[in-house]
Structure 1
Amino acid sequence: MKIFFLILLILVAAATVALWFWRQADHSADHAAMARLAALQPDSPKRFDPSLIESLPEPARRYFRYTIQPGTPLYTVARISMTGKFGMGNREAPDYLDMQATQMLAMPEGFIWKMSASRGALRISGSDTEQWTRFWLMGLLPVARMGGDPDHARSAFGRYVAEAVFWTPAALLPGPGIAWELVDVNTARVTVRHKGVEQAVDVVVADDGRPLQVSFDRWSNANPEKVYRWQRFGGYLSEFRVFAGFVLPTRVEAGNFFGSEAYFPFFVAEISHVEFPEANAKDRADSCP
């Protein structure tokens, strides 16, 4: 019996060590993804001039005039620090966990959202990118390993195109693969095409151009049937601040089935800081309002 328990102890210890190394490998992959995306920042970006948006629909012109101050270097890669709530349940029982996360956003190439969330003794951590979704329970037990397929990539593309509206408006200025069209007097639609994938996002703006809400049809399996299909996703933006010449929301709530009674804002974020990797010292100083 003693030999049995000794063998069992050895096996448990070996499994724990193996899981620890597996978790460290995920951390390394996360850091590598962040470095890869940060390296996509333009070295010497142009500066914003209203002439760049003259051909756009009026709501889109309002949006850019509000979100990018004249003369701002047009950085397209951002690092966003946030806290907030992450819902694990549904509208009736949100099951929110306290969340903190760092995101690197480099539309149209990709993103990484590295987070940890907790409630009491429960702790979940991991990351979400255009290549994978990986989450761990208590830092040692893998509870989600997804990605590496066209469905996941298409769903992720919808997410980070929409988030570019929040945090990297310069990435959505007119150019190859980006088209804007009028929806109504206060709404513009941006369509991004990249490597054979296309995503349209609607942006509702206030009279001053402040983006109020963002919505789009997202390829998603976040439904009771767990089947990938197009379904409405969206949310609300508020509490704007200036970061390095960009006027960006510091409160974002978003969820599935936007605009319907089933809408559940599982993602509620308070943004503490947005910075633009490789920005010069003056730009970093200006990003702290």
Structure 2
Amino acid sequence: MTWLPWLGLALCLLAVAAVGLSAYGAKRWTDTTRTLTRRLEAGRIDEKVGLPSPARFDPRELDGLPAPVQRYFRAALKDGQPIIAAVTVELAGRFNLSATGAQWKPFTSRQRVVTRRPGFLWDAQVSMLPGLAVRVRDGYIAGQGLLHAAALGLFPVADVHGGGENARGELMRFFAEMAWYPTALLPSQGVRWEALDDRSAHASIVDGPLRLTLLFSFNDAGLIDSARAEARGAMVGKEMVMLPWEGRWSDYQVQGGMTVPLTGEAAWLRPQGRKPYFVGAVTSLTYEFAP
């Protein structure tokens, strides 16, 4: 049994190495996240040099909008609501790692959003096994999309970035998540609305060369039920496939004087049926308003 002490020593060394790798990976990840956050903040439009924008919601700007859109803003905003300049969203939930089955893993995340110029950075930890987390960054910064995932923050398992469909898909996420920062959906903030029926309308935004249109549907209370795109790039293996995509919103509560959802779900609408891959609940919302 003389090998038992050596086995114990080897296990201790492995444990120490794992802790060291985890700490080193966490530091590297945090440093890069801070750099990207600075880039995101640097892209914010200074009101002195950017396009003029009101500091507060004026209900007169709803004149001429489709009826369900007017109902939404009246349900979500109060007269004189300050315009949101930035928001920090903390989430907890589950993420499905399988494109075909159900491999749900818990996650926690912190997301920084700026509304002008549109951009966000989502920083998440997905728990794979006890002591093993995959760190994920997803974002849209200065017109470029990014998605990077790494085990322990060190060993990449996904790395996609750039313009084109990558940027379009990330801007699509930003657009759909405006339910969390609803003043960004106002016409004065650059969104254009077109009527469809009494419960839905198309909304369009432009950022640089990108122009996006989503279909927003509203619930019985007049609030956003879902935002749908007819085509968003989904990574299937190493290939990008265009699929319909949908975000759904629920559990509306008052935050910062606005009625916003605290639960969200994202899903691919595959030929085989609807495939949710993200379910999250807001644990904290911190708003910054225009001066």
The TM-score range, normalised by the shorter chain, is: 0.7 to 0.9
2:274 counterpart of 1:268: no
Whichever residue aligns with residue 199 of structure 1, its letter is: L
2:136 counterpart of 1:136: no
Alignment of 1:49-64 (within 5 A): 49-64=58-73
Whichever residue aligns with residue 87 of structure 1, its letter is: N
Measured in 2, the distance between the counterparts of 1:171 and 1:204 equals 17
Q: Which residue of 2 aligns with 1:235?
A: 247
- Are residues 24 and 88 of structure 1, via their aligned partners in 2, closer, same or farther at CA, if it must alter by over 3 Å? same
Measured in 2, the distance between the counterparts of 1:178 and 1:72 equals 17
Deviation at 1:221, TM superposition (A): 3.0
RMSD over equivalenced CA pairs, Å? 3.0
2:89 counterpart of 1:80: yes
Measured in 2, the distance between the counterparts of 1:268 and 1:194 equals 28
Measured in 1, the distance between the counterparts of 2:134 and 2:120 equals 20
Measured in 1, the distance between the counterparts of 2:46 and 2:281 equals 24
* Equivalent residue for 2:261, pick from 233, 249, 253: 249
- Are residues 22 and 173 of structure 1, via their aligned partners in 2, closer, same or farther at CA, if it must alter by over 3 Å? same
- Are residues 279 and 154 of structure 1, via their aligned partners in 2, closer, same or farther at CA, if it must alter by over 3 Å? closer
Matched residue SS, 2:240: coil
Alignment of 1:60-209 (within 5 A): 60-90=69-99, 93-107=101-115, 108-121=117-130, 122-130=132-140, 131-164=145-178, 166-175=179-188, 177-209=190-222
Whichever residue aligns with residue 151 of structure 2, its letter is: L
The share of aligned pairs that are identical, in percent, is 23
Matched residue SS, 1:60: helix
Matched residue SS, 2:75: helix
- Are residues 147 and 197 of structure 1, via their aligned partners in 2, closer, same or farther at CA, if it must alter by over 3 Å? same
Please give the TM-score of this superposition, normalised by the length of structure 1. Answer: 0.80
Please give the TM-score of this superposition, normalised by the length of structure 2. Answer: 0.79
Deviation at 1:225, TM superposition (A): 7.6
- Are residues 20 and 188 of structure 1, via their aligned partners in 2, closer, same or farther at CA, if it must alter by over 3 Å? closer
Measured in 1, the distance between the counterparts of 2:196 and 2:114 equals 26
**Structure 2: segments with no counterpart, 5+ residues:** 1-16
